[in-house]
Structure 1
Amino acid sequence: MISRTLLYVRRITRQLWFRVVLLSACSLLALAVAPWLTGFIPEDLGDRFGRDAALPVLTILASGMLAVTTFSLNIMVSAYRTAAATATPRVYRLLLEDTITQSVLATFVGGFVFSLSAVILFRSGFYTEDAAVVVFATTVVIVALIVGSILRWIDHLSGLGSMDHTLRLIETRSRTSLRQRAERPCLGGCAITDDDSDARPADSIAIPAAESGFVRFIDMTALNTLAKEGDTRVRIARSPGEFVLRGQPVAWLFTEDEDLADTASGHIEIGDVRSFDQDPSFGLTLLAETAQRALSPGINDPGTAMEVMGRLERLLWESTPNDIPDAREDVSFPHVEMPPVTARHLLDCAFPPIAHCGKDDPSVMDWMQKGLTALSDHPNSDMAKAAQSLADHLFPAQSD
């Protein structure tokens, strides 16, 4: 189970500025250590690959990389806005984590920082002729990296912002989230068997939500440690992805210690937007929203809706384990209880919204019926029963 600290580190590394700062820092580090590497340079290379050879190349890089970076940023923003307009606005945050785009832009900015800083250092007389050879060699490496990034960027631009690229990105991220949650349906805690997990249990006090918003992350490790030290148990009332208002119960604590409840509240992250980290249904919701937009009267694109349903079927078929996992066999946090993610919940996030918008399109509804029929043969009996039950609900005439 990922800790909260590791989660924050992972989120930081997914942001664009992190790679930009990292490569820029590496560029400055390479310039700083250049004078210390002069002992490895043959004496006769200073005349051929020294200051006069490096400065013209660095000047070209300093002027060119700034323009290329600005142009690339404009393309990225335009492509992401197009994807958000054609798919769903909530996919914009996922597109910002595109590693190829981040790496390319970071290379461009790093090349600009390197070349501009090198020109300044050369003009200030910081480098000797031997150090200039090291800088020239580093410049050659930087140029090679920039050329490779440009070729990679050209190939990536062919699909950036397109519907295919957007759907593929959502599906890939959703598959990871679904499989992780399938392996640990209760995030390593004990499964709640009660039908009404929202009701206040006896002999418990509420753990209030620190703010209004979506439950984004539950630090199971910290909650389990806290409950163990207090000789009590925590029961999660709002799973990741659910909305809660400030002060409402987000979990229950089987004790009368109000201070302990306030401390436990700090281990449940709540934010303005949902996250993929512990929410397997978020990706299904994004795909369903894309299909809904495609079926709107202004767009009227049933083909995209059917493609989305195909991806939903594939996700639910491949990311659901054939055997029903026994939550009791994988309990890493025995002092924390929470309801598992059910197959019916995943199906409800995927198909009913599309059915609502595509009920007047026979081709869309026919595809949906065939998809639910296929999922009703899933080796996992929970998924099979849920798919059959949803099919009977959406297509009552065919079930008679």
Structure 2
Amino acid sequence: MRERIWLWLTRLWRRPGIRISAFGSAALLVSLIAPLVDRSLPEWLVDRFSRDAVLPILNILASSMLAVTTFSLGIMVQAFRSAAGQATPRVYRLLMQDMTTLNVMSVFVGAFLFSLASIVMFRAGFYGESAAVIVFGLTMVCILMIVVAILRWIAHLSQLGSLHHTLNLVEQAAKAPLERLARKSNLGARPAENAPKAPKGATPLLAPRSGYVQFLSLAELNEQLKETDATLWVFAPPGSWVLKDTPLAYVEGECDPDTLIENFTMGDERTVEQDARFGLVILSEVASRALSPGVNDPGTAIDVIHRIERILWTLGQGMADKDRDTTVEFEQVIIGTVSAEDLLNDGYASLMQDGGNRFDVMAQMLKAATRLSKSDWSDLASAAEKTRDTALGIIDRKIEDPDAVKSLQERAKRT
């Protein structure tokens, strides 16, 4: 339950409405605390900063921040929809978690609520003369935050909604679970290839609903299993689509299936928290959209090829690191390993099919596969060789010019 609570709190904090509401609530709280600290102020400050000096500033902030917030929200939604239309609908949820945009919008809304609440408190008589000093100081801090936010917003608007910015966000989202995979394989559980198969008499854990497996609370699963020395075989790892009342896992031992099933978080969409393959799938979708006849943008497809290559090369270095942690943290849980072949198929399979008739795209595809075949991670190297052979087969079928086919075959040998 601890991991699930932390997961939900993290997801809530990334939601625009929750994050902006939190900043706004903090601003309201600050405005309410001001009268509680006004008694300790020196007289000369009270005489210098009166309510007449503060109220005009608060009025300006309240009116201007409302307009800025409304305008910025319109720009944000329009840019995100445009980016999702250019790339793939799957990127919209990633864009909605853009920290720069959320922080800027939070500052704008917080400043509006602080100034509005302070005006109400002054007019209602809750603020005395000495409280005006506190409000004035807080207003100066608020103005400084607004200036910084506006400068960040101006710099961010130059790239917000662009395909380059979208690809950067997707690449970062794809890297995070793969970096965790490089640090600790199988999420810390026992790999299925080094464990016995589930016995025939094992009890199945049935999915409570149809959807994607998004997250496994492995630490709590292991604790519950350890109490009765039971073993769990995870049949549907994160990223798997399952139907209601079909097996998620099998357990051998005396355990309450209903208690164990609570550690499986399911939803209608795939997420990147533990799904190491989903980010590569999104990148591949962006490349396929770019290669469609309506878009015809091979440059973006080539950019995606290089980004996937960079991600997988870094993963290969991590997997081949001699100091990599290979200890099994959750002995009672057995889960399948994400293979290098699966990762390459997720990233390149549909891209090769959609761009198989283009010389420029397939030339870069062959170069990327050949470079990855030199990875220190042997699984990635062998999978990349298979990908290169697959690419050569697609080239032979889809490119009609024999000279182009011969040139690409020679390039594959040279690189």
Flag whether TM exceeds 0.5 (same fold). Answer: yes
Partner secondary structure for residue 187 of structure 2: coil
CA distance in 2, matches of 1:313, 1:248: 36
CA 1:210–1:16 in 2, change beyond 3 Å: closer, same or farther? same
Count of aligned pairs between the two proteins = 395
Letter in 2 for 1:350: G
Which residue pairs with 2:335 in the alignment?
Answer: 338
Please tell me the residue identity of whatever aligns with 1:220.
L
What is the CA-CA distance between 1:27 and the residue it aligns to? 1.4
In structure 2, relative to structure 1, the CA distance for the partners of 1:281 and 1:304 (3 Å cut) is same
Pairing partner for 1:205 from 203, 209, 233: 203
Structure-2 separation of matches of 1:196 and 1:209? 23
User: How much is the aligned-residue C-alpha RMSD, in angstroms?
Assistant: 2.1
Give, in whole Å, the separation in 2 of the partners of 1:87 and 1:72.
Answer: 22
Provide the residue aligned with 1:192 in structure 2: 192
State the shift of 1:359 in Å: 0.9
Which whole-Å CA distance do the structure 1 matches of 2:199 and 2:365 have between them?
39
Residues 1:304 and 1:394: Cα distance change in structure 2 (over 3 Å): same
Q: 1:322 to 1:81 in 2, by over 3 A?
A: same
Deviates more, 1:159-168 or 1:20-29: 20-29
> Secondary structure of the residue that 2:333 maps to in structure 1?
strand
**Comparing 260-269 and 48-57, the one that deviates more:** 260-269
Q: Which whole-Å deviations, capped at 9, do the CAs of 1:215-272 have from their partners, x for residues lacking one? A: 10011112112211232100001111111111111111114x5x72232222111110
- Relative to structure 1, is the Cα distance of residues 188 and 10 closer, same or farther in structure 2, using a 3 angstrom cutoff? same
Cα deviation code 1:275-332 (max 9, x no counterpart): 1110111110010000000000000000000001010000000123252789994211
- Residues 89 and 196 (structure 1), Cα distance of their counterparts in 2 relative to 1, 3 Å cut: farther
Q: CA deviation at 1:195?
A: 11
Other structure's SS at 1:246 match: coil
Q: Structure 2: 5+ residue runs without aligned partners?
A: 397-408
Amino acid paired to 1:234? L
Partner residue, 2:309: 313
Alignment of 1:132-151 (within 5 A): 132-151=132-151
Among 243, 246, 255, the residue aligned to 2:244: 246
- The percent of aligned pairs where both chains have the same amino acid is 42
For 2:23, what is the secondary structure of its paired residue? helix
**Partner of 1:210: helix, strand, or coil?**
coil
Alpha-carbon distance, 1:152 to partner: 0.9
CA distance, structure 1, for counterparts of residue 323 and residue 336 of structure 2: 13
Contact in 2 for aligned 1:183/1:325 (Cα 8 Å) = no
Check if 1:226 corresponds to 2:185.
Answer: no
Structure-2 separation of matches of 1:129 and 1:169: 49
Structure 1's 161 and 70: CA in aligned 2 closer, same or farther, altered over 3 A?
Answer: same
TM-score (norm 1): 0.94
Aligned to 1:284: 280
State the shift of 1:388 in Å.
0.6
Match of 2:357, SS state, is coil
Match of 1:297 among 278, 293, 296: 293
AA of the residue aligned to 2:71: F
The TM-score normalised by the length of structure 2 is 0.91
SS at match of 1:61: helix
TM alignment of 1:36-75, pairs within 5 A:
36-75=36-75
1:47 to partner: Cα distance: 3.4
In 2: Cα distance, 1:322 partner to 1:378 partner: 10
Q: Is the 8 A contact 2:191 2:337 kept in 1?
A: yes
Residue from 267, 286, 295 that aligns with 2:263: 267
Contact 2:212/2:269 (8 A) holds in 1: yes
Q: Aligned pair in 2 of structure 1 residues 202, 137: CA closer, same or farther (>3 Å)?
A: same
Q: 1:177-218 CA deviation, whole Å, 9 max, x = no partner?
A: 111022222111111117997xx6422121111111111001
Provide the rounded CA distance (Å) in 2 between the counterparts of 1:219 and 1:250.
14
Matched position secondary structure for 2:256: helix
Aligned mates of 2:243, 2:4 — CA distance in 1: 22
CA distance in 1, matches of 2:321, 2:128: 69
For 1:101, what is the secondary structure of its paired residue?
helix
Q: Tell me, what secondary structure is at the counterpart of 1:45?
A: helix
- Return the letter of the residue paired with 2:19: R
Residue 392 of structure 1 corresponds to which residue in structure 2?
389
Distance change >3 Å, CA 196–CA 94, structure 1 → 2:
farther
Q: Give the whole-Å Cα distance in 1 for the aligned partners of 2:302 and 2:207.
A: 39
Give the match's secondary structure for 1:352.
helix
Partners of 1:351 and 1:72 lie apart in 2 by: 37
Q: Find the residue that maps to 1:47 and give its secondary structure.
A: helix
- Aligned partners of 1:190 and 1:327 also within 8 Å: no
Match of 1:323 in 2: 320
Contact 2:195 2:334 in 1 (8 A): no
Greater Cα offset, 150-159 or 3-12: 3-12
Q: Residue in 1 aligned with 2:370?
A: 373
Give the whole-Å Cα distance in 2 for the aligned partners of 1:105 and 1:94: 17
Contact 1:233 1:336 in 2 (8 A): yes
Q: Which runs of 4+ in 1 moved over 3 A?
A: 194-197, 324-329, 396-400
Structure 1 portions without partners, runs of 5+: none
Residue 62 of structure 1 deviates from its aligned partner by 1.0
* Aligned counterparts of 1:215 and 1:33: Cα–Cα separation in 2: 45
